[in-house]
């Protein structure tokens, strides 16, 4: 009887000292979709020309590993001065066209993980503004899928997600944008190597998008808009560079 009790105590102690699962893969596997499955009504390889252009640049001079990849849509594409604005940080700008998260996911191996970056900064705002309706939950789910794909190749990479910005031309759907931002932020909180960067405070004036920082299309930013982004992003990225 004493041996039986002793055996139970040993089993109990072993259970108490069992280490919890802490890998990024384990954490990612537990994440559930919030929305219904969503399939693009466009070809996810429609920006192949831009990707080939990146590969031509890489063939001429491959960026050093351990850099900071900017991935996402046109707010990065049009930030052509990002390497200078964020210097001396090792910026690799791979934003392309008016891309959506499904497109960024499709090209992730060719525009993100191939560079073996130390840090990846994600900004993609077009998903809810196409011809096929997409909910904030579905945007969040696509963001999670992208992060999981990156983590599968580089479990320890540092990730930053930039809030979908407030744009005058899209202000009518601001509530959906705010909800998508909140859902993405909630997901990010579960990962110690993943941070949320909120650009709204520097882009609003009297509670609305500041028209002084946008070009004529009321969607994309001018130089002043990028100066404000630089003031927000650079100190954050410098802390983990």
pLDDT string in tens for the chain (241-residue length): 434 333 433 334 343 333 333 334 434 457 899 999 999 999 999 999 999 999 999 999 999 999 999 999 999 999 999 999 999 999 999 999 899 999 999 999 999 999 999 999 999 999 999 999 999 999 999 999 999 999 999 999 999 999 999 999 999 999 999 999 999 999 999 999 999 999 999 999 999 999 999 999 999 999 999 999 999 999 999 998 7
- Give the predicted TM-score (pTM) of the model: 0.87
Establish if 32 belongs to a structural domain: no
- Which domain range does residue 112 map to? 63-240
Establish if 98 belongs to a structural domain: yes
In this structure, which long-range contacts are made by residues 237-240, counting pairs with CB atoms below 8 Å and at least 24 apart in sequence?
A: 237/68, 237/86, 237/89, 237/119, 237/121, 237/160, 238/89, 240/118, 240/119, 240/158
pLDDT at 158: 98
Establish if 133 belongs to a structural domain: yes
pLDDT at 240: 83
Establish if 17 belongs to a structural domain: no
CATH number reported for the structural domain that contains residue 131 in this entry: 3.40.50.1110
CA 89 to chain centre: 18
pLDDT at 205: 97
Q: How big is the chain, counted in residues?
A: 241
Establish if 83 belongs to a structural domain: yes
How many domains does one find in the chain? 1
pLDDT at 225: 98
Establish if 180 belongs to a structural domain: yes
Establish if 225 belongs to a structural domain: yes
How far apart CA 122 and CA 109 sit, in angstroms, is 15
How far apart CA 218 and CA 206 sit, in angstroms, is 17
Burial class (CB in 10 A: 0-12, 13-18, 19+), 60: exposed
Establish if 121 belongs to a structural domain: yes
pLDDT at 31: 87
């Amino acid at each position: 009887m004493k041996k039986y009790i002793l055996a139970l105590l040993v089993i109990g102690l072993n259970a108490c000292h069992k280490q919890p699962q802490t890998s990024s893969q384990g954490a990612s596997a537990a994440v559930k979709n919030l929305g219904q499955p969503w399939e693009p009504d466009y070809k996810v390889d429609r920006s192949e020309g831009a990707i080939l252009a990146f590969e031509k640049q890489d063939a001429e001079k491959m960026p050093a590993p351990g850099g900071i990849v900017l991935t996402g849509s046109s707010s990065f594409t049009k930030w052509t001065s990002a390497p200078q604005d964020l210097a001396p940080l090792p910026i690799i700008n791979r934003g392309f066209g008016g891309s959506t998260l499904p497109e960024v996911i499709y090209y992730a191996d060719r525009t993100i993980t191939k560079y073996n970056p130390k840090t990846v900064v994600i900004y993609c705002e077009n998903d809810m503004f196409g011809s096929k309706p997409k909910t904030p939950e579905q945007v969040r789910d696509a963001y999670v899928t992208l992060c999981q794909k990156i983590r599968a190749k580089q479990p320890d990479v540092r990730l930053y997600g930039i809030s979908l910005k407030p744009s005058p031309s899209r202000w009518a759907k601001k509530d959906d944008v705010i909800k998508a931002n909140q859902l993405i932020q909630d997901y990010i909180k579960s990962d110690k190597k993943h941070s949320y960067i909120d650009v709204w405070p520097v882009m609003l004036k009297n509670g609305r998008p500041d028209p002084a920082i946008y070009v004529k299309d009321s969607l994309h930013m001018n130089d002043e808009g990028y100066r404000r982004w630089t003031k927000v992003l650079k100190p954050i990225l410098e802390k983990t560079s």
